[in-house]
Amino acid sequence: MLIAKKLKQDNIAEYLLYMWQVEDLIRAYELDIDKIDEAIIEQYAQPEEIKAETKEWYEGLIDMMRREGITESGHLVINKNVILDLTDLHLQLLKSSKESDYTADYYKTLSFIVELRSKSPDKNIPELETCFSALYGFLLMKLQKKEVSGETQAAISQISSFLRLLSIKYKENRENGLEL
């Protein structure tokens, strides 16, 4: 919870990837708050009020996952809304004549997005979700110590660079309002 708060303020892309990881973690512990409490919350040297707040946060996420029917797979509406917010900003940035660097970075990334979407069974996934799914998949491969091809690493590097720039623009827009 503390990590999520900090990431949401500092880097929206990292926040979203973290939240996807939390969703998977909750599933791995079978949506059982006692297992999560024992394996995760109690392992951190935090004051009891922080532990209680963290447990409440996990309980809230578990409840949302059940209500939204994503106990096996999928993403919470709150996380889908982050992608929608990022997509809105992304489209505004692309339309702005003041954001040529952003547009150039997007077009460097577009061929990777197109290739990934062509391999996806669901062709209607938004471009940015495709980017996040690629990064998340890459992170899972690294955690599993699976080999990653040079081509995949190049794609992930470009996608990561693009999402980093979008995150910076998101933070700037939230804090100061971008003049697009």
Report how far residue 121's alpha carbon sits from residue 76's, in angstroms, rounded to the nearest whole number: 20
Residue 115 domain-assigned?
A: yes
Residue 132 domain-assigned?
A: yes
Do 44 and 106 sit in the same domain of this protein?
A: no
Q: Which of 67, 89, 114 is the last residue of a domain?
A: 67
Give pLDDT, residue 33. Answer: 98
Q: Which of 67, 90, 120 is the last residue of a domain?
A: 67
Q: Please state, in angstroms and as integers, the Cα–Cα distance from residue 145 to each residue in 69, 132, 151, 159, following that order.
A: 31, 20, 17, 21
Give pLDDT, residue 144. Answer: 94
Which amino acid is located at 148 in the chain? V
Do 109 and 153 sit in the same domain of this protein?
A: yes
Do 22 and 87 sit in the same domain of this protein?
A: no
Do 107 and 40 sit in the same domain of this protein?
A: no
Residue 44 domain-assigned?
A: yes
Domain with 25, as residue range(s), is: 2-67
Do 157 and 102 sit in the same domain of this protein?
A: yes
Q: Which of 16, 42, 67 is the last residue of a domain?
A: 67
Q: Please state, in angstroms and as integers, the Cα–Cα distance from residue 89 to each residue in 13, 92, 94, 142, 180, following that order.
A: 13, 5, 9, 30, 10
Do 52 and 85 sit in the same domain of this protein?
A: no
Do 28 and 90 sit in the same domain of this protein?
A: no
Q: 140 in helix, strand or coil? A: helix
Do 172 and 97 sit in the same domain of this protein?
A: yes
- Check if the beta carbon of residue 160 is closer than 8 Å to that of residue 152: no
Residue 72 domain-assigned?
A: no
Give pLDDT, residue 4. Answer: 93
- Here the tokens at position 20 are 């996807």
Give pLDDT, residue 12. Answer: 97
CB count in 10 Å sphere of residue 69: 8
Report how far residue 38's alpha carbon sits from residue 6's, in angstroms, rounded to the nearest whole number: 23
Do 30 and 86 sit in the same domain of this protein?
A: no
Residue 121 domain-assigned?
A: yes
Residue 36 domain-assigned?
A: yes
Domains contained in the chain, number: 2
Residue 166 domain-assigned?
A: yes
Q: In the chain, what's the furthest Cα-to-Cα distance?
A: 52
Mean pLDDT by 10 residues, the chain (180 residues): 90 97 98 97 93 97 98 97 97 96 97 91 88 96 93 95 98 92
Give pLDDT, residue 179. Answer: 87
Report how far residue 9's alpha carbon sits from residue 175's, in angstroms, rounded to the nearest whole number: 10
Do 83 and 156 sit in the same domain of this protein?
A: yes
Q: Please state, in angstroms and as integers, the Cα–Cα distance from residue 14 to each residue in 28, 142, 167, following that order.
A: 21, 16, 9
Report how far residue 49's alpha carbon sits from residue 59's, in angstroms, rounded to the nearest whole number: 15
Q: For 128-161, write each residue's pLDDT tens digit.
A: 999 999 999 999 999 999 999 999 999 999 999 9
Do 94 and 35 sit in the same domain of this protein?
A: no
- Here the tokens at position 45 are 């040297």
Give pLDDT, residue 119. Answer: 87
Do 84 and 164 sit in the same domain of this protein?
A: yes
Buried b (16+ CB within 10 A) or exposed e, 130-160: bbbbbbeebeeeeeeeeeeeeeeeebbebbb
